[in-house]
Each structure stands twice: as structure tokens, then as C-alpha cells.
Amino acid sequence: MPTVTRAPDEKTWHGVLARASDPAALANLQGQGEQCDWCAHPIRLIGNSVSVDTATGVVLRSYSTNDEPDGVLLKACGTRRATRCPSCAALYASDARMLVRSGLSGGKGVPESVSTHPMVFATFTAPSFGAVHSARGGRACHASKGPRTCRHGTSTSCLLRHRDNDPVLGHPICPDCYDYEQSVLWNATCPELWRRTTIYVRRELARLCDMNVKELDQSVRLSFAKVAEFQRRGVVHLHAILRVDPRDDDSDVPHFIDAQTLTSAIRTAASKVSAPLPVGFSGTSLGSARWGRQLDVRVINAREVDGDASSSSESRRSSRAVANYVAKYATKSTDDLGALDRRLTSLDDLDARNVSAHLARLVTTAWRLGALSHLTRLRTWAHSLGFGGHWLTKSRRYSVTFKFLRAERQAWQVQRQHGTAPSEQSINVGVWKWIGTGWRTLGDAWLASQGQREKMQSRTEAREARCIERRSSADPWDERPRHFLDVEAVES
Ligand SMILES: [Zn+2]
Ligand SMILES: [Zn+2]
Ligand SMILES: [Zn+2]
């Protein structure tokens, strides 16, 4: 699979010239690029398909890759990771934003009444597994309170004032003191801890409402959407939207359950809940996984749909800000550069990935734990430092699904291409053959990366233009130059 280099080397340059010197070949590449949205690693297919009306048996449309540029169909890779493919990740982020927004303020088939339901945005963090280097807003990183050196002879203090982009942030002060095993097993237990948390929140809500859980469940439902994000120290934390809905769609949430009640229930639940950690290297119990002390809960102001995200107060979050937040984290990787985007086949595989010593030790610990018969899954999750959950999940009733949003987009594309929406009475039958992944030559890959860059640039410009438009529609005078006002004042 060709990889894209920033400046084309000689071999890439030959490929670029071969395309660029032939207008028809260049037009083919343009067609292919638009077909797959300038995906970085498209799947190349050949084959044909027909769309048949199931009621009448009439062939509505037929398609063959023979008619496509270069005779192949390019299908976008569809990854969520921005490090793998910026174009597909941007589409994923847009769907994630839509999925979250519709659950906050309605739309896409979700009633607008959800915006009146009690809802909060909460960030759950992991506990400490050992002292790490941290940026403390101009203060010293780690002033030691106890002995000056640990039992490994390493200094226990760091008086540096780290900047936000310091690569040492999140790395242990003493790697030998840091509990790598607990860190990996905590990541592995995080999905179960979250499942139990949702049960505990319902339990605490019931307690606050003087009900039992059964009575609460008959009256309301707890819906959520959450995204996992890796902290620099290599543990996940969760950003979650939690919403209380009436059990019956036609009724309201009881007046005694509001966002403050939900906040109290979450805080108590988070302090009480735990999930047993799996037995590790020692063969004895390692206790339970619990949330860390840092828990941030903010009420979501869903009515503020068109407000500027930056205008939200400290204790409240607008739905736009929350949706942008979730979408941003949904496309992130385990590490900043995406070196751990793929599963490991062996520990030798890790050497080539050039990750920091801290991440390498976490991966190695997960891999070694995976040798235990009850933890074999940790080999599959070693590249995600033990975390095997989904990155973005939601409860069934929170809002629409990614599948729904993709189907809607596909229907719109069919409508645009053929002038008619796909009939519900039709089926597609096709024969496809996979012939490769990625652009055919290094030259094509390089040209595709340029197409992708231009596309992302125009998307950014369009977004900025929308922001200016929104601001000016909120207060038309704010955006006007001062001399404009002066002229009008003179004329009046
Ligand atoms: Zn892609
Ligand atoms: Zn430090
Ligand atoms: Zn130590």
C-alpha cells in the first residue's frame, strides 16, 4: 500500500508526472478522488450491481465499474481515526456531532421535546497509578512531600514548570514505582465500571426521589451517549451525556427530577460504584476498579442551540459545545501520532512503532498479561493499553444511530445522482471483487493527499464563514466596521 510522503521523492514524483502529463488520466484521478472523498486508504473494487424493484421485478438501475475512471470503484476506508485518514475521520466526526446534537436538541426523527429533559455532561476520570509529570499552570510539577528519593533511588520531586506541549507530561516521575499492571487492568475493566455506574445512577435517583428502582423505572428512563479519551498517562477517561426521559413518550419527566437531582445522583453513584479487577501476575485479587476523585458534572443548556460555544458559563455547557467536544474526541487515537492505531502481532512489532517508553511499557504489560489464560483478550487490546470498549457508545433511546445517518447520506447521494430517492421496494444485487487497498501508485497517493488537503481547507473556510454569519445574525451591528456606523450617523 503506497504511503504518502510530504515532499514527493523521485519515485513518487515519476508517478505524479505520469498522471499530470495526461489530461484524461488526471481527470480520472479527479473522478476517483471525488468518488471516495479523497480517502487516504480507499478500498479498490471491481464488479457490477443492479437495483431491482421487488414488486415488479423491473431493473431500476444498473452499474458497472467498467464505466468508472480507471475501471475501478474506490470505496472510502471509513475509519474514525484522524491519524489514519483525515477525510473519513472528518465525516465520522460530523456524524458523531449529529448523533449527539439530535439527542440534545432533537432532529433526525428525535422529538425536540428532549431539549426540556434534565441532562448533564459528566467527565469520569481514572484514579492515580503513580505520580506523573503534570502542567500546573506555572507552578512546579511535583514538589515532594515525603522522602526525596524512592526505593529505586529516583528523585520523587520535579520542580520544573512544564508547558502544555511538553512530551514528558503524563510520564511517571519513577517508572518503576508506577503501577503499570493496575493501569492496564483498570482500562480493561472500565466498560464494566461504566455499566455498573449507569445502574448506580438509577439507584441513587430512586433514593433521592423516595422511590425504589422499580418504581423509578416505571416512570423514567436514563439515556446516555459517551466517548472514551486517552489521557497522556495512558488511561481512558469518559465524557458522558446523561439524560432523564419519561418512560412514556407522551408524558413529561416528573417535576421532582431535574438536572440538579441528576447531578447529585451521578456524584454519589461515582463515589460508591466499583467493579472487580481481574487477577493479575501475582495470582491474587487486585481489588476493585473505581473512578478517580476528579469528576466534572455540568448541566447542559440544550435551549442554547445557536449560542456561541465559548459563551457557556463555567457550570453550564451549550449543546453545541458538548456535541463539538464529543466529535473531537471520537476521532482521536490512543497516542497523538497514531502509532498504536493497529493491533500488535508480537512485541517485536512494537519496536518499529517508535512510541514513548511509557506507552511501550503499558503495551508490553498488556501483552504479558494476555499470556494469562483468563486474560487472552488483552493481546487483542494491547495497542489500546488494555481498553477493549467501544470509543463512542450510546444507549438505544438516546438518539439516532451511525447506521441511520449513513443510510440517510447514501439515499441523498442516490437522489443527487439519479434524480429519484431509492425505493423501499427495491433491493441491490451485486458481484464485487476486492483488488487492493490504498491508491494504486505513490504518485496517485501524493496527489490524493493534496486533494484531501484542499478539501479540508475549503471545509474549514466554509465553517468559519458560517460562524461569522451566525455572529452577525445574532447582532448585526457587532460585525460592522466602525466607519460604517459613523457614516450612517452623519447621514441621519
Ligand atoms: Zn478513508
Ligand atoms: Zn515534571
Ligand atoms: Zn521508584
* d(CA 469, ligand 2 centre) in Å: 44
Rounded to an integer, the average pLDDT of 5-24 is 80
Q: What is the per-residue pLDDT across 198-230, written as a single tens digit (0 to 9) for each? A: 999 999 999 999 999 999 999 999 999 999 999
Q: How far apart are CA 459 and CA 454, in angstroms?
A: 9
pLDDT confidence bin for 6, thresholds 50/70/90: low
Q: Quick check: 312 and 301 in contact, CB under 8 A?
A: yes
Amino acid sitting at position 266: I
pLDDT of residue 14: 86
Which of the ligands is closest to the CA of residue 90?
A: 1
Of the listed ranges 8-22, 346-360, 362-376, the least confidently predicted one is: 8-22
Instruction: For strands 73-75 and 43-53, give the pairing.
Output: antiparallel
Rounded to an integer, the average pLDDT of 290-304 is 85
Which of the ligands is closest to the CA of residue 163?
A: 2
What letter would DSSP give residue 385?
Answer: T
Q: Distances in Å between the alpha carbon of 295 and those of 124, 133, 239, 286, 291?
A: 5, 20, 10, 23, 8
pLDDT confidence bin for 154, thresholds 50/70/90: very high
What mean pLDDT is reported for the chain?
A: 85
**Residue 418: pLDDT over 70:** no
Instruction: Please identify which residue in the block is written with the cell numbers 453545541.
Output: 320
* d(CA 31, ligand 1 centre) in Å: 16
Instruction: Please identify which residue in the block is written with the cell numbers 430512586.
Output: 206
Cell of 244: 432523564
Please, which contacts does 218-221 make with residues 24 or more away whose CB atoms are closer than 8 Å? 218/247, 219/246, 219/247, 219/254, 220/244, 220/245, 220/246, 220/247, 220/253, 220/254, 220/257, 221/245, 221/246, 221/247, 221/397
Tell me what percent of the residues of the chain surpass a pLDDT of 90.
Answer: 42
How does DSSP assign 394-444, residue by residue? E-TTTS--HHHHHHHHHHHHHHHHHSSPPPTTEEEEEEEEEEEES-SSHHH
pLDDT confidence bin for 461, thresholds 50/70/90: confident
Amino acid sitting at position 480: R
Q: How far apart are CA 365 and CA 308, in angstroms?
A: 44
> CB atoms < 10 A from the CB of 176, how many?
12
Q: Which residues of 100-115 are buried (b: 16+ CB within 10 A; e: fewer)?
A: bbbbbbbbeebeeebb
Q: What is the per-residue pLDDT across 393-410, written as a single tens digit (0 to 9) for each? A: 999 999 888 888 888 887
pLDDT of residue 19: 85
pLDDT of residue 205: 96
Which of the ligands is closest to the CA of residue 171?
A: 2
pLDDT of residue 479: 32
pLDDT of residue 327: 85
pLDDT of residue 307: 44
pLDDT of residue 490: 28
Q: What is the per-residue pLDDT across 168-207, written as a single tens digit (0 to 9) for each? A: 999 999 999 999 999 999 999 999 999 999 999 999 999 9
434: β partners: 45
* d(CA 154, ligand 3 centre) in Å: 6
* d(CA 164, ligand 2 centre) in Å: 12
Which of the ligands is closest to the CA of residue 179?
A: 3
More confident residue, 40 or 479: 40
* d(CA 388, ligand 1 centre) in Å: 23
pLDDT of residue 173: 94
Q: What is the per-residue pLDDT across 86-145, written as a single tens digit (0 to 9) for each? A: 889 888 888 988 898 899 988 888 888 888 999 999 999 999 999 999 988 888 898 877
pLDDT of residue 489: 27
Question: Which residues, 6+ apart, have CB-to-CB distance to 235 below 8 Å?
Answer: 126, 129, 183, 186, 187, 385
More confident residue, 71 or 4: 71
* d(CA 157, ligand 3 centre) in Å: 11
Please, which contacts does 150-157 make with residues 24 or more away whose CB atoms are closer than 8 Å? 150/174, 150/176, 150/177, 151/177, 152/176, 152/177, 156/131
Question: Which residues, 6+ apart, have CB-to-CB distance to 346 below 8 Å?
Answer: none
Angle, vertex CA 127, rays to CA 192 and CA 180, nearest 5: 85
Q: Quick check: 84 and 77 in contact, CB under 8 A?
A: yes
pLDDT of residue 181: 97
**Residue 23: pLDDT over 50:** yes
Give the three-class secondary structure for 193: helix
Which of the ligands is closest to the CA of residue 152?
A: 3
Q: How far apart are CA 337 and CA 339, in angstroms?
A: 6
* d(CA 37, ligand 1 centre) in Å: 8
**Residue 386: pLDDT over 90:** yes
pLDDT of residue 452: 86
Q: At 488, phi and psi to the nearest 5?
A: -65, -35
Instruction: For strands 236-246 and 220-230, give the pairing.
Output: antiparallel
166: β partners: none
Q: What is the CA radius of gyration of the chain?
A: 27
Order of strands, sheet of 295-301, starting from the edge strand that comes earlier in the sequence: 316-318, 295-301, 119-124, 236-246, 220-230, 392-394
pTM of the predicted protein model: 0.81
What letter would DSSP give residue 129?
Answer: S
pLDDT of residue 31: 84
Q: How far apart are CA 273 and CA 115, in angstroms?
A: 29
